């Protein structure tokens, strides 16, 4: 009963969507939204790291972050990372001021930063690359995103699951109201697929924690709206 109520609310809400408020829907019909998801074990990743330094002069700040970035880039190239999988941002410098309770602000130095983005083809080497970044002087990890190399394949599987779900809901509703499901009148898949969601097991032993990401999986979702005619 709880499932049916949830389904009814979903269908009812779809009826209120303006895209379906069309004079052409002057025949018995049912609107359903199908949801599908598949899980996949990530096999690659991207990460973004940053070096931030504050020194007395802009020149010193620039030299400091450039030295760190160049050291990290060289270490990546030395182990065979393709340049196409590495990108570094332009230098960003901003003056830093001290604001006393009274009197004017005082220039105390310059803050410089640069970001490096890396594509990790072999997920097992992710921790190694992060360690190299820290040893080079990188002092901030901004983002780590796990991915699957065959993203399109899993997205298609999620789409097929969403199609099947939409059809099953339509059949259930039609039969519930003693109707027969007719032809599909409209299919709306004009949605941006949501980003894969990373899940990790809460039960991790020491070895897994040290290796990192061995227990991770990505949930890839999709949804589709369908209007069926009723007989």
**pLDDT for the residue 185:** 93
Same-domain status, 118 and 155? no
- E-assigned strand segments in 166-215: 181-188, 197-200
pTM to 2 decimal places:
0.70
**pLDDT for the residue 189:** 82
Write out pLDDT tens, residues 54-99: 999 999 999 999 999 999 999 999 999 999 999 998 999 999 998 8
Indicate the number of domains in the chain: 2
CATH number at residue 96: 3.30.70.2970
Q: Is residue 23 part of a domain?
A: no
Domain holding 173, by residue range, is: 29-41+150-201+215-230
Same-domain status, 62 and 99? yes
Same-domain status, 161 and 138? no
For residue 135, give both structure tokens: 């040893």
Q: Which residues contact 194 (CB under 8 A, 6 or more apart)?
A: 221, 222
């Amino acid at each position: 009963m709880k499932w049916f109520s949830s389904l009814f609310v979903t269908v009812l809400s779809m009826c209120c969507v303006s895209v379906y408020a069309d004079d052409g829907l002057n025949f018995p019909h049912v609107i359903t939204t199908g949801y599908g998801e598949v899980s996949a074990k990530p096999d690659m990743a991207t990460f973004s790291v940053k070096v931030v330094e504050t020194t007395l002069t802009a020149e010193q700040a620039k030299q400091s972050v450039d030295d760190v970035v160049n050291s990290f880039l060289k270490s990546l190239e030395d182990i065979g990372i393709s340049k196409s999988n590495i990108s570094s941002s332009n230098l960003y410098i901003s003056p830093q001021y001290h604001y006393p309770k009274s009197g004017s602000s005082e220039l105390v130095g310059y803050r410089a930063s640069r970001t490096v983005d890396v594509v990790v083809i072999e997920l097992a080497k992710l921790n190694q690359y992060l360690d190299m970044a820290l040893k080079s002087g990188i002092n901030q990890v901004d983002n780590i995103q796990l991915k699957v190399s065959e993203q399109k394949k899993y997205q298609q599987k999620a789409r097929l699951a969403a199609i099947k779900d939409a059809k099953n809901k339509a059949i259930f509703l039609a039969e519930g109201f003693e109707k027969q499901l007719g032809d599909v009148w409209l299919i709306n898949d004009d949605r941006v697929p949501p980003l894969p969601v990373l899940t990790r097991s809460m039960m991790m032993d020491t070895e897994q924690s040290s290796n990192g990401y061995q227990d991770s999986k990505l949930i890839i979702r999709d949804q589709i709206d369908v209007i069926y005619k009723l007989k």
